[in-house]
Amino acid sequence: MTDPFSQAISPEIVRSISLSTGRKMPIAAYGTFHSDWAQALMKGATLEAIRLGWRHLDTARAYENEDVVGEAIREAIRKGYISSANDLFITGKLWNGHMSPKDIAPALDKTLQDLGIEQIDLYLNHWPWPNVHAPGCTGDQRNPDAVPYIHEAFLETWAEICKLKKAGKIIDIGTSNHTRATMELLLRDVAADERPVCNQMELHPLFQQAELRRYFESEGIACTGYMAMGSPKRPSRDKFKEHRSDMHDPVIQEIARECGVSAGQVCIAWAAQRENHSGGYVVMSTNAERIRENLVPATKNILSAEQVLRISGDGTDANPGIDANNRLIWGQVFLWPEADGDWRLLWDDSQVFLTRDGYQKFKSSWNSHHAVQLATTHGRAGH
Ligand SMILES: NC(=O)c1ccc[n+]([C@@H]2O[C@H](COP(=O)([O-])OP(=O)(O)OC[C@H]3O[C@@H](n4cnc5c(N)ncnc54)[C@H](OP(=O)(O)O)[C@@H]3O)[C@@H](O)[C@H]2O)c1
């Protein structure tokens, strides 16, 4: 009979970080975003991840497969890989389309039901604004109802998330894709037990976001990095000719040769070891060998301090590091009309509004400005 734990890594040796509430979170999270092409593989891959020792699953309503992940969890219990879902640390995310307070409790209930659990370890607000795009949409899609960050509305969402935490359905709460200004506003306006404990954000060697990450960490907010190896099979809407590939970077390749590991492992080893081992990573694979290999950097230091420095840099000419501000998720499908097509506005905090009223005033002045601009352009075209 084959050993059901063949090649498995003991969850005991997987490192954890302490959240500000004192709970431990395994630093390696198995991602369940399916990149459209892999949906059919996700049950088997998630089951294999649990068998091989992953105990932190990163899920989201937006991935449209919480039921499939739930089936994998139930099968893992049946097969004896875990004794109950309590052996797992499960992260879930409130989708943008459910941020209206009345929709949040039903959305969470559906998530809990599909995953087959009674409470979720960590519930993140997926994006700071309620803008939706159709699943599998193309990169040129825009939703005319999209809005920028409006703090008044976000606080209403957050209050409901906090209520569900107090009701025991959520253990810890966090954000995802928050920026500095939106986090400062949130921290300004919430009680100590309503602070987010974690922010999940895009982080990989060519997109390190060191300043933003340090800000979150200085506030006691742990940062987990998604697309930790550069998401080579991300949907085409998130692929642009300006992008570079982390795993093909010459420094990453050089370090992989020095360590005798894959380029992917170097990327996630960097995620596990960067700056005082303060954070974690989320990666996915549908391949058993890579599922196992991706857990190893959470169990031991693969990189020397010098190799970490070669990737991170320290701001000196001698150690420039390899950060290239290579953001993979531009988020252009979430853009609101007044962003005028510039995806950078999603990230640079230049259009953040305290109230709905403030945004409406800005919108009307932008509309009249736009009308003048159009009239001028048409006028010119007429000559
Ligand atoms: N909060 C958010 O807004 C947000 C946004 C994006 C993603 N996420 C989370 O982050 C997770 C990871 O993101 P991602 O899947 O886009 O990016 P990723 O983990 O960087 O890349 C995964 C891809 O890399 C390949 N791969 C995995 N391990 C490898 C290795 N060791 N060497 C070479 N290739 C390897 C996989 O293909 P194979 O299957 O063939 O191995 C898979 O296609 C998602 O599943 C999701 O849970 C969160």
What are 48-104's pLDDT values in tens digits?
999 999 999 999 999 999 999 999 999 999 999 999 999 999 999 999 999 999 999
Give me the CATH number covering residue 102.
3.20.20.100
63 is catalytic: yes
| Stated pTM of the model | 0.96
For the record, the structure tokens of 284 come out as: 């996915």
CA distance 54 to 56: 6
CA distance 75 to 67: 12
Residues paired with residue 172 on neighbouring β-strands, in sequence order? 122
**Backbone φ and ψ of 74, nearest 5°:** -65, -40
Residues 298 and 362 grouped into a single domain: no
- The minimum-distance atom of ligand 1 relative to the CA of 176 is 1
328: Cβ contacts below 8 Å, ≥ 6 apart: 202, 204, 207, 227, 230, 231, 234, 238, 243
Pocket test residue of 33, 35, 125 for ligand 1, highest count of atoms within 8 A of CB: 33
- Asked if residue 6 belongs to a domain, the reply is no
- Asked if residue 3 belongs to a domain, the reply is no
Q: Which domain holds residue 369?
A: 357-383
Residues 72 and 138 grouped into a single domain: yes
Residues 189 and 49 grouped into a single domain: yes
How many Å lie between the centroid of ligand 1 and the Cα of residue 284? 4
Residues 156 and 275 grouped into a single domain: yes
Residues 264 and 322 grouped into a single domain: yes
From first to last of the 383 residues of the chain, give the pLDDT tens digit: 578 889 999 999 999 999 999 999 999 999 999 766 677 899 999 999 999 999 999 999 999 999 999 999 999 999 999 999 999 999 999 999 999 999 999 999 999 999 999 999 999 999 999 999 877 788 888 888 999 999 999 999 999 999 999 999 999 999 999 999 999 999 999 999 999 999 999 999 999 999 999 999 999 999 999 999 999 999 888 999 999 999 999 999 999 999 999 999 999 999 999 998 988 999 999 999 999 999 999 999 999 999 999 999 999 999 999 999 999 999 999 999 999 999 999 999 999 999 999 999 999 999 888 878 778 876 554 44
Residues 342 and 372 grouped into a single domain: no
Residues 100 and 140 grouped into a single domain: yes
Residues 273 and 194 grouped into a single domain: yes
What residue's CA is closest to ligand 1, atom 10?
226
Nearest to 95 by CA among 58, 124, 136, 66: 124
Split into its structural domains, the chain has a count of 2
- Asked if residue 163 belongs to a domain, the reply is yes
* Helix, coil or strand: residue 210: helix
CA distance 133 to 323: 30
Q: Where are the beta strands (DSSP E) in 186-327?
A: 198-202, 222-226, 280-283
Residues 335 and 202 grouped into a single domain: yes
